[in-house]
Amino acid sequence: MTRKFSDIKNDLFIEQVKELNEGVYDPGIFKAFFLAGGPGSGKSYVQKRTTGARGLKVVNSDDVFEKLLKDAGMQTTPSDIYSDKGQALRGRAKAITKARQSNYLIGRLGLVIDGIGKDVDKIQKQVAALRGLGYDTYMIFVNTSEDVAQERNQQRSRTLARDEVTRMWNEVQKNIGAFQSLFGARNFIIVDNNQADDAYLSSVWKHVGKLVKQKVTNHIAKAWIENELAKKRR
């Protein structure tokens, strides 16, 4: 049964109330992790293995889009995705995701912002806005060879054409240097996911955990926390 958009908006309002209450006590407060990697990189799997169970809110319109497709009785096939109804649902998914991120930011909650990483300018603007709020920003770059990306792409339900995978892989690869400069060596994590095993991914998860638990030092963030705690003492 297809859900009404009014029901979704009501859910978002409930989420906003929860985020406002959670805010200052969020374990990942003022931490934002950008996730980058082309199609077939295994980004979704790496995200769960390296940032899961840390209390971070995942911002990913693809997850919302797939749920909306399922609720509408549609499949993640090119014919459904690129149909008029599918594209309308994609637009709705982006709007819902944007609203959720706004809610998370109100409470300054810890974030995982899932993306491909082909648009450096867009990410630079997002990083600048988050840092302006007091956030510490990081990037987890999921890296594979093009051959591995092509092989995994063929195993996905939403398969892309080979030349499209090649184009996007090249676009993401050329941005590595820019991302290293933007986030700094200490806050830029490359995950080699060609043959990543449990031990390797667990070590990344522990490293991310240390970053999440670091005390807030940014003066904007500290002032916001003090103000919120003062409100609760009144």
Could you report the per-residue pLDDT of 142-151, keeping only the tens digit for each?
Answer: 999 999 999 9
What confidence score (pLDDT) does residue 20 get? 46
Query: What is the rounded distance in angstroms from the CA atom of residue 88 to the CA atom of residue 83?
Result: 9
pTM of the prediction? 0.87
First to last CA, the chain: 46
Q: What is the pLDDT of residues 164-217, one digit of tens each?
A: 999 999 999 999 999 999 999 999 999 999 999 999 999 999 999 999 999 988
What mean pLDDT, rounded, does the chain reach?
Answer: 89
Q: What does the pLDDT read at residue 12?
A: 46
At residue 131, does pLDDT exceed 60? yes
Can you give the pLDDT at residue 16?
46
Q: Is 128 helix (H, G, I), strand (E, B) or coil?
A: helix
CATH 2.60.120.10 fits domain 23-56+109-233: no
pLDDT in tens, 10-60: 554 445 445 544 668 888 999 999 999 999 999 999 999 999 999 999 999
Alpha helices for the chain (secondary structure H): 5-22, 43-51, 61-71, 78-81, 84-106, 120-133, 146-153, 162-173, 176-183, 198-213, 219-233
pLDDT number for residue 4: 57
Residues in Cβ contact with 13 at an 8 Å cutoff, skipping those fewer than 6 apart: none
Q: How confident is the model at residue 130 (pLDDT cuts 50, 70, 90)?
A: very high
2: pLDDT strictly greater than 60:
no
Distance, in Å, from the CA atom of 38 to the CA atom of 108, rounded to the nearest integer, reads 28
- Residue 147: predicted pLDDT: 97
Domain ranges (residues) in the chain: 23-56+109-233, 61-106
Higher pLDDT, 1 or 143: 143
